Amino acid sequence: MSETESNPPAEDEPNRERTFGDYGGQYVPEALMPALQELEDAYQRYVLDNEDGFMDEFRERMRDFGGRPTPLQRADRLSKRYDREIYLKREDLVHGGAHKLNNALGQVLLAKYMGKERIIAETGAGQHGTATAMAATHLDMPCEIYMGRTDVNRQRPNVYRMRMNGAEVNPVDAGSGTLKEAINETMRDWATTVERTHYVIGSIVGPHPFPRLVRDFQSVISAEARDQIQEQAGRLPDSVVACAGGGSNTMGTFHEFVPDSSVDLYAVEAGGSSLEIDQDEGLAPNSATLSTGTDGVLHGAMTKLLQTTDGQIVESHSVSAGLDYAGVGPELSHLVDTGRVTPASVDDDAALNAFHRLSNLEGIIPALESSHALGFLEEAHEELGDLVVVNVSGRGDKDLETVLEETENRDLDAAPDVEVFDT
């Protein structure tokens, strides 16, 4: 490897700290507090101190089972289009087709080290559910996934994948039947079975220590990318771009760059169809929590939220199911408040165009989530400097049906003629 700068492994903040500035904490039912303490202890011993070689086993399994490291690829035609160097971090090549396995495998392995006997998880689009089901089967742990009824109906292939891998899928009928309700129900299961069950939360959300734990498993993305860009381009990038829903790929992509003050960090949220909230109906036609949210408590943490002035959580929206969440990780809220991370948003149309553009220009079909980061590149590349890293958090095969349908209903510049498929 060429001469590369590296950040000291230790952080300024103690890892046992329950908050990130004003955000984070442990706003959960009392019954779960002992389990969070147990998890905190396991996080310290196995993840931070590598007790019993936990992290060695995790890295080895991520290599052999997960396919890491993933490449950092120079995108030649995008670089030409934007007249600057664009590099793509290819998390779409992780086993399962997204960055989700980094966290799922880490937590299932941790549960095993902790002596837990059962895995539960929530899933929205099904990406975290499928990653958890894969990891649980790989490590021979029984696994149940909670998924909103609406999501079950619109993400059938992922339901089948989870069941193929031996997981039980429990549809959740409450509310709008999406991610928020699935998290509620998984927390209820956990509050009942906490003594022998581990809850594999799917993002950097939830009560401490989950936001740190998930970030640490995901930070392999930035650890690799930071070395790779220095090796391939000879220096640190001017900016790093990632999409943000709950924020696990975002913090994974940013974490090792946070101390590099010369590197600008952009978290691109789903702008949906509009950034306004309908207070009366309790609906947000977007998931732009970092850009438009207000401080409050949801799912165990103080963070930025989409909520009414009374404090009811609103239904969010995005064409990308994986970004469709009314909350966001507390660490991202903190980094936005301190100015270290710049929030941005890209609407449904721009994300769909970016999906088609990357497919057309680079031969990579990105997830609709990742397409938001790529849409931001189209809109704001002039502000991003000469050397840009964009995280392609997942592949878009899962989104083909949505994209075909949405493309027919919209006027998208970058879309090919999809009618060719109608015979």
Partner 1 sequence: MSGEQTAAIESDIEAAIREDHPALITYITAGDPSLEDTKEYVEALDCGGSDLIELGLPFSEPIAEGPTIQAAINRALDAGTTPARFFELVDELETDAPLLVMTYYNMILQYGSEPDVRPFVERAADAGLSGIIVPDLPAEEADPLRDACDEHGLDLVFIVAPTTAGERLDRIMSQVSGFAYVQARLGTTGARADVSNATHDSLTRLSAYDVPKAVGFGVSEGDHAAEIIEAGADGVIVGSALVDLIAEHGTGDAPAADALESKARELKRGARRGGEQRNGHEQGREEAPEPEQP
Q: Interface with partner 1 by CB under 8 A: which residues?
A: 18, 25-35, 37, 174-175, 180, 184, 187-188, 191-195, 282, 294-300, 305, 307, 309-313
Which of 91, 122, 185, 406 is labelled catalytic? 122
Cα 163 from Cα 132, distance rounded (Å) = 12
Q: Which residue has the tokens 């909350």?
A: 327
Which of 203, 393, 398, 406 is labelled catalytic? 393
Q: Quote the least distance from Cβ 132 to partner 1, whole Å.
A: 20
Q: Quote the least distance from Cβ 296 to partner 1, whole Å.
A: 5
Beta bridge partners of 268: 243, 344
Q: Quote the least distance from Cβ 348 to partner 1, whole Å.
A: 24
Beta bridge partners of 307: 313
Which of 100, 116, 180, 398 is labelled catalytic? 100
CA neighbor of 122 nearest in space, from 134, 114, 112, 130: 130
Q: Quote the least distance from Cβ 17 to partner 1, whole Å.
A: 13
Cα 357 from Cα 365, distance rounded (Å) = 9
What tokens does 136 get? 């649980």
Whose Cβ is closer to partner 1: residue 147's or residue 305's?
305
Q: Quote the least distance from Cβ 39 to partner 1, whole Å.
A: 13
Cα 245 from Cα 316, distance rounded (Å) = 11
DSSP state of 283: B
Whose Cβ is closer to partner 1: residue 161's or residue 180's?
180
Cα 303 from Cα 204, distance rounded (Å) = 11
Question: CB under 8 Å to 19, separation ≥6 — which residues?
Answer: 25, 208, 302, 330
Whose Cβ is closer to partner 1: residue 15's or residue 79's?
15
Q: Which residue has the tokens 């974490």?
A: 255
Residues 256 and 222 sit within 8 Å (Cβ to Cβ) = yes
Give catalytic status of residue 369 as yes or no.
Answer: no
Dihedral sign (CA 296, 246, 5, 55): positive
Give catalytic status of residue 6 as yes or no.
Answer: no
Give catalytic status of residue 80 as yes or no.
Answer: no
Q: Quote the least distance from Cβ 183 to partner 1, whole Å.
A: 8
Whose Cβ is closer to partner 1: residue 310's or residue 382's?
310
Beta bridge partners of 19: 24
* Catalytic machinery residues: 100, 122, 393
